[in-house]
Chain A
Amino acid sequence: MPLYEIHVNGETKQVDVDSDTPVLWVLRDNLRLLGTKYGCGIAHCGACTIHLDGDAVRSCAYPISAVGNKKVTTIEGLSKDGNHPVQKAWLEHDVPQCGYCQAGQIMTASSLLAQNSTPSDEEIRRAMNGNICRCATYTRINRAIRTASKDM
C-alpha cells in the first residue's frame, strides 16, 4: 500500500492510504483533523476548503497523490489562537448559524484576502460563490470579509 508524507499545519505526517483518496478523508479519517467538512464530494459546496501552498482548494476532490510537497493548511492551522483577521471578523459579525460550512468559508475568504487584501464587493461575491451556506448567512459573510480586509 502506498505511504504518503503530507505536510499539514507545519507538521509532517505519514499516512497509509489508497492513492486516489481525497485529502479530505485523509485529514478526517486518518489525521482526525475534523474541522474540514464533507458536504458534496464533487467540489461544488466548498465545505472542505483547505489551503495548498496558500491557494484555496476543495479537498474532497483533490487526491492525496497530487499533493506532493505542497503545504496543507486546515482551519485548525489557520492561526494559533483563532486570531486570524478573518476569524476575528467572523466573531465580530456573529456570522455562524448552524456553523457547518463556516470553516470552508473562512478558508476561502482568508485565501482571497491573502491574494487581494482590498477586494471589491463584486470580487468578494465571485470568490465566495463556490461556498454554499445552507443557512444563507451570505450577507454577514460578506460584511465580515470587508471588516477583515481592513485588518489585513
Chain B
Amino acid sequence: MAKVKTHVNRRSFLKLSAAGSTGLLIQFSWFSSLAKENPNLEAAYELNGFIQIHTDGIVTIASPNPEIGQNVKTSMPMIVAEELDVNWENVRVVQAPLNTAIFTRQLAGGSRSISQSWDALRMAGATARHMLVKAAAKGWNVPIAEIEVSKGIISHKITGNSTGFGKMAEAASKLEIPEEIDVKNIKDFKIIRHSKYNVDGPDIVTGKAVFGLDVYSENMVFASILHPPAFGMKLKSYDASEALAMKGINDVFTIQTYPEDFVRGPFDTSAFPELIVITGDSTWRIMKAKKKINVEWIPIESHTIKVKGFRNPKAKEQTIPSGMEETSSQYISMIKKSKEKAKEVRKDGDPEKAFSEAVKVIERTYTAPYLAHSPLEPLNFYANVTDDKAELIGPIQTPEYMEKSVAKRLGMTLEQIDIQMTRIGGGFGRKLYGHYLVEAALISQKIKKPVKLIYTREDDMTFGAYRPIYHAYYRAGLDADNNLIAFHVKAGGIPESPLYANRFPAGTVDNYIAEEWAIESNITTAAFRAPRSNFMGAVEQAFLDEVAELAGKDPIEFRLELFEKAIKNPVGDKNDYDPKRYAGVLKLIRDKAKWGTSKQGLSRGVAAYFCHDSYVANVVDLRMENDKPVIEKVYCATDCGIVVNPIAASNMVEGGSVDGIGHALYSMLTINKGRPEQNNFHDYHLIRNNDAPWDVETYFVDSDVHPTGLGEPPFAPAIGALTNALYKATSKRYYHQPFMIDIEEKYLRNNENV
C-alpha cells in the first residue's frame, strides 16, 4: 500500500470540521502535489477543495475546475470516491464557486486538471475514510484493523456493529489528522478504471443543463457589441440615430475594455479594445438594430501595449503593428522568413557535415492556416455590477485570472468580484481569453443594470484570437544503409513559432538542428486545442512517413528503430518524451489495427505523437470518393497512465481524433485587407457528420502510472495518420492544411521563388 503525505514540514493539506448538523466537512488542498517539488510554495497549502459527508450518508464533492466537456466534473470526484469507499450512487458533484481566497488555479486548459490533482484527491478521500473509521473504532472500542468499509458503510464483524458514514461524521471531525495516509493499491480500484456515466448527462439530454447563455434574470438588459470589421482598424465615429429609433432599443455607447495604459493579464487578449455597445429589451431586437448603426472606422497607428506573461508576472511591452494584412501576403512573408537566418534552439553533433555526407537528402515544407475556435456556445457573459459588488456569471476557462483583470478595470477589490462558472459550451482555448467578461462588467457598471452580453456567431468568428498561421521546413539525411544521420527542423509562424525543439525525433539522431522564427502581426491569436502540437505533431509525422519511404522501411518499423536508439543510447539529455512509452503505443496500434494486412479498397496511414505528457498512435483507413476521403475507421492507441474513467476517456479520444481530422481537411480562416473572409458556418467549414470518420476504435495501454492529459493529445497524431493514408490513396503528398483547399494553387505556386 502506498502512502501519501498529508503534511509537509508540519503544515497540513487538510482541515476537518463539523458542518453543523449536516455532517463532516473536509477541506483540502487540490494542488498539494506541488509541495513535493517546492515545500515552501504557499499555493500548495491553500484549502481549495471540499468533501462534505452528510448525516444521511450522501457525499458532496466540489469540483473547482470549469467543466468544458473534458469530464472533470465526473472523473475528479471518482478519484475521491474511490479512496473514500463510498457508494458512487450516493455521491453528488457540485461546481465549486470561484473563490481565490480558498481555491487556486481554477483553470481548464493544458490537459492538466486530472494530472495535477491525482495525489491530492486520493489523499483527501483516504483521509476522510481513515477519520471516519478511527471515529467508529473509538466509539465501539475496537481495534481499527478489524473495521471494514464498503460502499459508505462502516462495520465490525465480531461485535456486529455497523453504521453509515453520516453517523460518524461529527466524531471524526474532532480527531487528529495523521501525518501520512495509506492510499489503495491500484489493483483494488473499484470506481477508478470503471466507467461512470457523465454526472450531467440526464440534465444535458433534457435541456436542463445551464450554460452561460442560459443565465437570465429579471430586469436584465440585453447587449451586443460592434467591433472593427478589420484587424488594424479602430473606431472613428458613429451615427446610431436609426438604431435608437427602433423598437426596444435602449442605448448605444462605447466602452474601452482595455485602455492603452492598462497592464493586461496573460488572458486579456483583444485586438479591439474599444467597442460600440447596443442595449435593448431582447436579443432579436439588438441583433436587428446593430446592423443599422453607421460607423466610420479608421486605421490604427503602430503602438505598444503592456502585457503580463502567463509564467512571468512582469509586464512586457508588445508591439501592435499598423496595416491591413492579407492571407496571400502572409504566405509570402513566411516563405521569405523561412529562408532567412533563424534562432537556433537546439543543435546536436554536426548537422551540416552530416548532410554533406548523406547519400539521400529529403526536404519538405508544410503550412497551416488561421483557425477560428468556434465553440458552439458563442462568447457571452452576464454581469450585474453595483457600487459595492460585481456579480459575473458565464462560461470562462480562466476565472482566477479574469477576476484580477476585471477588478482592476472596474476599480473594485477582488473581494467585491463574484465570478460564477456555468457549464461551458465548448472552448478549445478560446474561452481562456475573457475580454467578453470584462466587457459585460463595464456595460453593467455604466448602465447600472444587470446585463447579458451576447456575441453573434459573426462577432465570435471575426473578433480574432485565432490559432496562429504556421510554417515548417524539414530536412533529413540518410546514409548508404538508410540510417537517419541528420535532421533539420526550422519552424515559424505569425505571430509565434510552433517549435518543440526537444521532441521526437530529437534524441534519436546524432546530428540534429532545430531553429525558429516569428513574424509580428496585429491579428490576435490564442492557444488552440494542443497548442503548437496541433501543427508540429501532424507535419512531423507526415515528414517521417516520407523519410521512412525514402529509406525503404515500414513506417512503424522505422519509428521503432529510432525509439530503440533513444532507449539505449539517447542523444542529448533534454529529450522531453519517454521512448519506451512512445514505442508502446505504436506496438499496440500495430496489433490492434493488424498493421500489414489490408482491407479491400482501403488505404491506411499511421502516426504517433507525444504531448501533454501522454502518447497517442493512430491508424486511419480511408478511400477516395469524388475527390473526398471517406474515412471508414480510425484506430487510436493511447498511453495516458491510469485511465480514470474509461467511457469518458474513450469519448475524449474519439472526439479529439475527429476534431483533428476535420480541421486538417476543411477548416481555414482567411484575411483580406485585414478582414476575416469567413463569418459563419456557411463559409467557415467545420467537419460535419457525413464527412466524419464512420468509426473510431480506442485502446489504452494498461498502465499503473500517474494519469496524464487527454483533452489535447489525440488531435495531432490523427492528422498525421490521415495525411499518410491520403498519400496511399492518391499517390500525392499533402503539405498544406486544409487538404480540401488547394493552398498551393491559391497562395503558393507563384511565390515559391520570392
Which residues in A have some Cβ–Cβ distance to B below 8 Å?
Answer: 1, 17-18, 20-22, 25, 28-30, 32-42, 44-45, 47, 74-76, 78-79, 82, 87, 90-91, 94-103, 106, 121, 124-126, 128-142
Contact = CB atoms under 8 A, between A and B. Distances in A.
Contacts of B210: 34
B285 A134 contact: no
B425 interface: yes
Nearest to A129: B690
B457 interface: yes
A127 to B, nearest CB: 9
A112 to B, nearest CB: 12
Contacts of A29: 222, 282-284
A102 B200 CA distance: 12
A99 B206 contact: no
A132 B207 contact: no
Contact of A38 (B213, B423, B693): B213
B246 to A, nearest CB: 10
A132 B681 contact: yes
B376 A132 contact: yes
In order of increasing CB-CB distance, the 9 nearest A-B pairs are A35-B207, A100-B425, A98-B69, A75-B207, A97-B69, A136-B658, A99-B204, A138-B692, A44-B681
Interface in B643-701: 647-648, 651-652, 654-656, 658-659, 662, 680-682, 686-690, 692-696
5 contacts: A29-B284, A37-B376, A37-B425, A38-B454, A136-B662
Contacts of A98: 68-69, 375-377, 423-427
B201 A37 contact: no
A13 B538 CA distance: 53
* Most chain B C-beta atoms within 10 Å of own C-beta, residue among A28, A37, A135: A135
A66 to B, nearest CB: 15
A21 B374 CA distance: 25
Interface of B: 68-71, 195, 197-198, 200-202, 204-211, 213-214, 216, 222, 247, 282-285, 287-288, 374-378, 423-428, 454, 456-457, 647-648, 651-652, 654-656, 658-659, 662, 680-682, 686-690, 692-696
B647 A100 contact: no
Given A135-B655, A136-B658, A22 B284 contact: yes
A132 B688 contact: yes
- Majority SS at the chain A contact face: loop
Contacts of B282: 17, 21, 25, 29-30
B216 A34 contact: yes
B69 A99 contact: yes
A139 B426 contact: no
A94 B202 CA distance: 10
Contact of B428 (A82, A91, A95, A134): A134
A128 B689 CA distance: 6
Contact of B687 (A28, A124, A136): A136
Contact of B659 (A28, A102, A136, A141): A136
Given A100-B425, A131-B689, A137-B654, A45 B695 contact: no
Nearest to B659: A136
B205 A41 contact: no
Given A135-B69, A136-B659, 14 more contacts: A18-B284, A29-B282, A35-B206, A35-B208, A38-B378, A94-B197, A96-B205, A98-B426, A99-B69, A129-B690, A134-B376, A135-B655, A136-B655, A140-B651
Contact of B689 (A75, A91, A106, A125): A125
A101 B209 CA distance: 12
B253 to A, nearest CB: 22
A53 to B, nearest CB: 20
Most chain A C-beta atoms within 10 Å of own C-beta, residue among B204, B287, B686, B693: B204
Contacts of B211: 37, 99-100
Contacts of A130: 688
A142 B69 contact: no
Contacts of B69: 96-99, 135
Contact of A45 (B655, B681, B696): B681
A91 to B, nearest CB: 5
A90 B205 contact: yes
B529 to A, nearest CB: 10
A94 B140 CA distance: 43
Nearest to B688: A129
